[in-house]
Amino acid sequence: GAAGRSPRGDEIVAALKRAGWEPLGASASFPRDGRTADPLMEALGEAIQSPPPAAVARSFGDVVVADPAMRELHALVARFAASEISVLLLGETGTGKEVFAAQVHKLSARAAGPFCKLNCAAITETLLESELFGHEKGAFTGADRAQAGLLESAEGGTVFLDEVGELPLSLQAKLLRVL
């Protein structure tokens, strides 16, 4: 096959063209093109000489989106990322809130900092405050050392609180005051 494509890949591309599609495709193989994900992905990118047409797909960071409604949503995420505002993502389980939070982080001025995640529904109420705000040595039974909370640990980065609605109201009020 051509450089960057396997003989089997050429057959697939030819079949797609016969069906009226204009596919962009490439393959990379281990170990010839790389031994880790980054070099393999770079080889794929080099093998595909042109990006997808804008009418079909658009790239948002490392996410490629084809659906027009999703392109609009990703463009909105990019606008949020360019600002310093706090962002609240709402949606049902499985709708991609964490994916969008990660995109906001990656496209923001805070991208060099940590992306810290906490599932508020997975931690007991008694540990949540300590997890978010930290504690000093001796603050409670078992606190044998001072520990920074998630909000302090994320300094210069982004905090993603999943299921924040599950936090007790008293803790939500404290969090709101911090924000």
Where helices occur in 2-149 by DSSP H, the ranges are 7-18, 37-47, 68-81, 97-107, 125-133
- What value, to the nearest 5°, has the Cα angle with vertex 57 and ends 52 and 59? 90
**Predicted TM-score (pTM) of this structure:** 0.58
Residue 54 sits at the vertex; the CA angle it makes with 48 and 56, to the nearest 5 degrees, is 85
Question: What is residue 71's predicted lDDT score, i.e. its pLDDT?
Answer: 81
pLDDT-derived band of residue 170, with 50, 70 and 90 as boundaries? confident
How far is C-alpha 14 from the chain's CA centre? 34
Q: Which pLDDT does position 12 carry in this prediction?
A: 77
Residues 105/82, Cβ–Cβ less than 8 Å:
no
**Tokens 């880790």 identify what position?**
36
The better pLDDT of the pair 162, 39 is held by 162
